[in-house]
Chains A and B, each alone.
Chain A
Amino acid sequence: MLVFGPFLMFGITIGAGYLGASNTENNSEIAVISQNSQLRNSYLKANKTDVNTAITDQTKAKKQLNKGKIAGYLTLKSDNQKISAQYVGTSSLDSSMKSKINIFLNTQQQQLNLANAQLSATQIQALQQQPKLTENVQKKTGTAHTAKIISFWITVVMVYIILITYTTITAQEIASEKGTKIMEIIFSSTTALKYFLGKIFGVLLVILAQILVYLIGGFGGYLFIENSSLTKSFVSQYQSLITSVLRNLLSVNLIYLLLGVVIYTVLAAFCGALVAKVEDASKAAQPAIMLNLVAFFITFPFQSNVDSIVVKTLSYVPFFSSYFMPLRLINNNASGVEVAISLIVLLVSIILLTVYIGKIYQGLMLQTDDSSFWKRFKRGISYNK
């Protein structure tokens, strides 16, 4: 459930979207009616996708409108001088449809005007001259900012949710073992450090499996939305944006996510081992969750100010670097050397913290005093061999 939850949500969203789209498909169509079949055909030729072509007369159109099968009907009229149209519907035309109808009517009126004016070919050509607006959007620069914002939010929210999930699970599991005699049996069979390392290694394998499943699932999902008729046009329209976001996500940021999970898991295990009794298991993760929450919220004011000394400093500080270095990387604000230093600091911190907690783990797990946090901590350390 932990791993497949996001896919389930994705599936439900797509399914709901698809069902919603199927149900509203007919309702967005209109009927086009005209005594002038040539005029009607011209409209249908230009705008076939939005029209229910089966409805050809007003009586039928009214019936279908009353049944809610169509959004409305458009009656096209023409005489020798003028083209006119009347729309009847349950709500006003949306801007896109209105624009299509206006373009059609203008074109038809213009053709009629030209025919009535009996102009020469040169005059016609002169009148058909249109003003020209040229847009020159530099695609890469244009989407880069949006890509950064999207990448930032996806990264921090993903890191936050995954860290919260793993810290909660780890702290609760360890807290539920606390004070139970199974720990005494285990510690009479293997060292606490080995057991602790085994637990952390187990969590590491789970998160690796989760990332792998997300990568495969994400690739499959991308192929789906790239080829689905519902989303195909969206993907091609925003291809460069999607590519930029994916590039930001599938980078060294994944290593920060992975190491972030490990260091927060180690901290969560420590918190779990420090609870007074099994009943406090649900509260065990709170210190780790609070730290994660602080790191998460501190990123907000700095998302467009990555040059700040705070961002630069925190990108080297364990527990914070999993948020702040990806933030800098998304904004191309960190060099390879800086990333390497930050990763080494994070790795060394993980190793030192794991070894230290692994050494005092036995004492922390075996002492069951229902006293204050610091007394429990002190007793745990003194208890230990």
Chain B
Amino acid sequence: MLKIQNISKNFGDLKALNDVSFDVSDGQILGLIGQNGAGKSTTFHSILNFLNYQGTITWNDQPITETVFDEIGYLPEERSLMPKLTIEQQIIYLARLKNKSAKEIRPQIETWLKRFAVKGTKKDKIKDLSKGNQQKVQLICTLIHNPKLLILDEPFSGLDPVNADLLKQAILTAKKQGAAIIFSSHDMENVEELCDKLVMLRNGKVVLNGAVQEIRDSFGKTMIYVTTDQSIDKLATLPHVVAAKPLESRRYVLYLDKEEAGRDVFDELTHGQYIEEFSQQPPTLNEIFRRKAGEKDE
């Protein structure tokens, strides 16, 4: 288990992290979200011991030092490999830093290249690969030593939907194998789809922390999705509706001032009218993100 307790980090006058606490258990995926500059990368750098910080970070009750480096797989935000090396040399070099022998790693390379559909052979140089394929090789380097703690900084950034699916599969496989996984993302759909837990940072502080559904439910079912022939102007004037937005043809989302008003809105809408869809739900992660990001610090 990765346990982060009350960590703070200042860069001069800038408070990059302010009393951040959360934990990730084995076989669990935690999504770390927040606006740019919220402190996500600084959190990762603290976990990886790149920084001096106040507070405690432990992995299986041990401080994160060189002794546990071999159990960690880290994918940085910007991709970077050694352009002069071949794919094979690059993978083996980084695996050897994780105390895996070339003998052990070399036979696995072909399988991993196929699994991630990397175009090219293991003898191709990194500099000759496309950006997407370089990204896949970097993912292989992160995963090939079967890490117990997987830290992925913006892993989906720059990936097309097909490759994003490949990555999702790899993350879920690592989860099945018992790895504790923490990743940052701006794509709330991926977070919702993959994560068991969610932590949101704003200006270095934790503003959300918990299971994804619990967090959504805590905001109340204040959104109604309707598919109807009624006009948006009429929908916007319904009691307790604070806003209405069109989604697609005849489909709208209504924002309520309180969850309990749902029944009243339903009565108003269905009064002598046919309603194709009426669904009262908590806000989406995107909506929660927007709301939380827009809030002012206390």
User: Would you call A385 and B141 a contact (CB within 8 A)?
Assistant: no
User: Would you call A185 and B45 a contact (CB within 8 A)?
Assistant: no
Chain B residues, CB < 8 A from A185: 74, 76, 80, 94, 141
Of chain B, the residue at the smallest CB distance from A369 is B11
Of chain B, the residue at the smallest CB distance from A186 is B97
Chain B nearest Cβ from A350, distance in angstroms: 24
Q: Does B122 contact A (CB under 8 A)?
A: no
Chain A residues, CB < 8 A from B82: 182
Per the bound structure, the CA–CA distance linking A185 and B48 in Å amounts to 10
One of A16-24, A148-156, A188-196, A269-277 contacting the partner: A188-196
Given A181-B79, A379-B11, A190:B69 Cβ within 8 A: yes
User: Would you call B97 and A190 a contact (CB within 8 A)?
Assistant: yes
Q: Does B72 contact A (CB under 8 A)?
A: yes
Given A180-B80, A181-B76, A182-B81, A188:B11 Cβ within 8 A: no
Of chain A, the residue at the smallest CB distance from B141 is A185
Chain B nearest Cβ from A196, distance in angstroms: 14
Chain A nearest Cβ from B145, distance in angstroms: 9
User: Would you call B50 and A184 a contact (CB within 8 A)?
Assistant: yes
Which of under 10, 10 to 19, 20 to 34, or 35 or more describes the interface residues of A? 10 to 19
Chain A residues, CB < 8 A from B97: 186, 189-190
- Tally chain B residues at the interface, Cβ within 8 Å: 25
Per the bound structure, the CA–CA distance linking A384 and B51 in Å amounts to 5
User: Would you call A184 and B76 a contact (CB within 8 A)?
Assistant: yes
Q: Does B98 contact A (CB under 8 A)?
A: yes
Chain A residues, CB < 8 A from B49: 385
Per the bound structure, the CA–CA distance linking A362 and B51 in Å amounts to 9
User: Would you call B94 and A181 a contact (CB within 8 A)?
Assistant: no
Chain B residues, CB < 8 A from A384: 51-52
Chain A nearest Cβ from B239, distance in angstroms: 53
Per the bound structure, the CA–CA distance linking A30 and B20 in Å amounts to 96
Per the bound structure, the CA–CA distance linking A290 and B76 in Å amounts to 36
Q: Does A187 contact B (CB under 8 A)?
A: yes
Q: Does B267 contact A (CB under 8 A)?
A: no
Given A190-B97, A383-B51, A385-B51, A184:B66 Cβ within 8 A: no
Chain A nearest Cβ from B114, distance in angstroms: 23
User: Would you call B45 and A366 a contact (CB within 8 A)?
Assistant: yes
Chain B residues, CB < 8 A from A382: 11, 52
Contact bitstring B65-89, A, C-beta under 8 A = 1, else 0: 0100110101011111110000000
Most buried by B among A185, A191, A362, A366: A185
Given A190-B97, A379-B11, A184:B51 Cβ within 8 A: no
Contact bitstring B1-24, A, C-beta under 8 A = 1, else 0: 000000000011000000000000
Interface residues of A in 191-242 (CB under 8 A from B): 191
Chain B residues, CB < 8 A from A190: 66, 69, 97
Chain B residues, CB < 8 A from A385: 49-52
Chain B residues, CB < 8 A from A379: 11-12
A sample of 6 inter-chain contacts (CB < 8 A) reads: A181-B76, A182-B81, A188-B74, A190-B66, A384-B51, A385-B51
19 more CB-based (< 8 A) A-B contacts, given A182-B80, A188-B151, A383-B52: A181-B76, A181-B78, A182-B81, A184-B45, A184-B76, A185-B80, A185-B141, A187-B50, A188-B69, A188-B72, A189-B70, A189-B72, A189-B97, A190-B69, A366-B45, A366-B50, A383-B11, A383-B50, A385-B52
